[in-house]
């Protein structure tokens, strides 16, 4: 608790207690920046940071603060499978399966629904949310909208509908808008459109490495770096089973946290 308090100097005691209960002892760079920018105080933000930098916890903190104020929370995701997983996660974090239940949790994806139709925390796909908004089931003026993977706006097929959804939220003065993205190229433009502040970080709490295996050699590059290095670790050839065995061996010895590219994929 002391370590967490030291790393989060502006956090209120209730938030520190909750984070400690959730098992967190420190925060990542983007998490600290988002809290400093007001994620737990109702500020609308575009949070842009690499994968594995801790953006999901920022959303959970904002949701926690909103629920404490009696607001509704709408968590938007890009795919149904992800919605299913988030629904399960939030039931354990906020709902009936948590040690300290504080909200009803619902799921709405188009093909199925779970929980209360008027749940305090609703997980939905972007497309389903359009229908929920137009039929009055979502009241933007009293809702925290969390838009996960908002770079989907650039999708040529789905992007226009999602842009229209965001425009409606903006027009109806959504209470708080929190967008999470790892790859959007113009966060400042997006923030200006949605009347948000931008919070950015290039730090990744869990480094990701990619290896390219070719011609009997291994080349490794860490994401975020432009140039890689040749490593001395031997490779096992083109046999798929041998490659998988090598990966599992490296994983068990905690040597790897990277994405492999088989020699076959390079041919």
CA atoms within 13 A on the CB side of 138: 29
Residue 48, both tokens: 């842009």
| CB-facing half-sphere around the CA of 209: CA atoms within 13 A | 15
The residue with greater pLDDT, 204 or 132, is 132
Query: From CA 8, how far away is CA 124, in angstroms rounded?
Result: 31
- Which band of pLDDT confidence, cut at 50, 70 and 90, is reported for residue 260? very low
Torsion angles phi and psi, residue 92, rounded to 5: -75, -30
The CA–CA distances, whole Å, from 203 to 30, 72, 224 equal 8, 31, 9
Tokens of 228: 């890689």
Pairwise pLDDT comparison (113 vs 169), residue with the higher score:
169
**Sign of the alpha-carbon dihedral angle for 152, 31, 25, 42:** negative
Alpha helices in the chain (DSSP H): 2-7, 13-21, 29-36, 55-68, 80-93, 126-134, 159-171, 187-194, 240-252, 263-266
Phi-psi region of 13 (alpha: psi -120 to 50; beta: other; left: phi over 0): alpha
Q: Is the pLDDT of residue 82 over 90?
A: yes
Phi, psi angle pair for 143, to nearest 5°: -130, 140
What pLDDT digit, counting tens, does each position of 138-188 carry?
Answer: 999 999 999 999 999 989 999 999 999 999 999 999 999 999 998 888 899
Residue 45 confidence (pLDDT): 97
**Among 14, 30, 113, which residue's Cα sits nearest to residue 64?**
14
- Quote the mean pLDDT of the chain: 84
Q: Give percent above pLDDT 90 in the chain.
A: 53
The lowest-confidence range among 9-23, 76-90, 96-110, 135-149 is 9-23
* pLDDT tens column, 21-79: 999 988 999 999 999 999 999 999 999 998 888 999 999 999 999 999 999 999 999 99
pLDDT score of 192 more than 70: yes
Region for residue 201 given its phi and psi (left: phi exceeds 0; alpha: psi -120 to 50; beta: otherwise): beta
**Contact between residue 145 and residue 74 where contact means Cβ atoms under 8 Å apart:** yes
Tell me the mean pLDDT in the region 102-128.
89
- Percent of the chain whose predicted confidence (pLDDT) is above 70: 82
pLDDT band for 221, please (50, 70, 90 cuts).
confident
Q: Can you read off the two tokens belonging to residue 183? A: 């790859």
Q: What CA–CA distance (Å, rounded) separates 187 from 46? A: 7
Separation between Cα atoms, residue 209 and residue 61, nearest integer Å: 29
Rounded to an integer, what distance in angstroms lies between the CA atom of residue 228 and that of residue 167? 42
Domain architecture of the chain: domains with CATH: 2-200 (3.40.50.300), 209-266 (no CATH)
- Residue 179: phi and psi, rounded to 5, are -105, 135
């Amino acid at each position: 608790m002391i370590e967490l308090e030291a790393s989060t100097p502006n956090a209120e005691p209730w938030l520190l207690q909750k984070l400690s209960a959730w098992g967190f002892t420190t925060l990542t760079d983007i998490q600290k920046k988002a809290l400093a920018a007001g994620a737990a105080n109702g500020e609308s933000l575009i949070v842009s940071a690499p994968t594995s930098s801790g953006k999901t916890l920022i959303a959970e903190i904002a949701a926690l603060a909103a629920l404490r104020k009696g607001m509704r929370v709408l968590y938007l995701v890009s795919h149904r499978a992800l919605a299913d997983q988030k629904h399960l996660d939030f039931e354990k974090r906020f709902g009936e399966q948590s040690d300290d239940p504080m909200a009803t949790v619902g799921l709405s994806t188009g093909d199925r629904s779970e929980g209360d139709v008027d749940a305090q925390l609703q997980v939905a796909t972007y497309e389903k949310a359009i229908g929920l908004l137009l039929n009055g089931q979502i009241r933007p003026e009293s809702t925290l909208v969390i838009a996960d993977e908002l770079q989907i706006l650039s999708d040529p097929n789905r992007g226009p509908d999602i842009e229209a959804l965001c425009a409606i939220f903006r027009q109806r003065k959504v209470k708080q808008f929190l967008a999470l993205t790892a790859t959007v190229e113009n966060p400042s433009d997006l923030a200006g459109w949605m009347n948000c502040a931008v919070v950015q970080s290039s730090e990744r709490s869990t480094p990701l490495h990619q290896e390219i295996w070719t011609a009997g050699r291994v080349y490794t590059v860490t994401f975020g770096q432009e140039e890689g290095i040749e490593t001395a670790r031997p490779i096992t050839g083109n046999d798929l089973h041998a490659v998988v065995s090598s990966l599992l061996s490296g994983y068990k010895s905690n040597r790897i946290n990277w994405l492999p590219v088989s020699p076959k994929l390079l041919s």
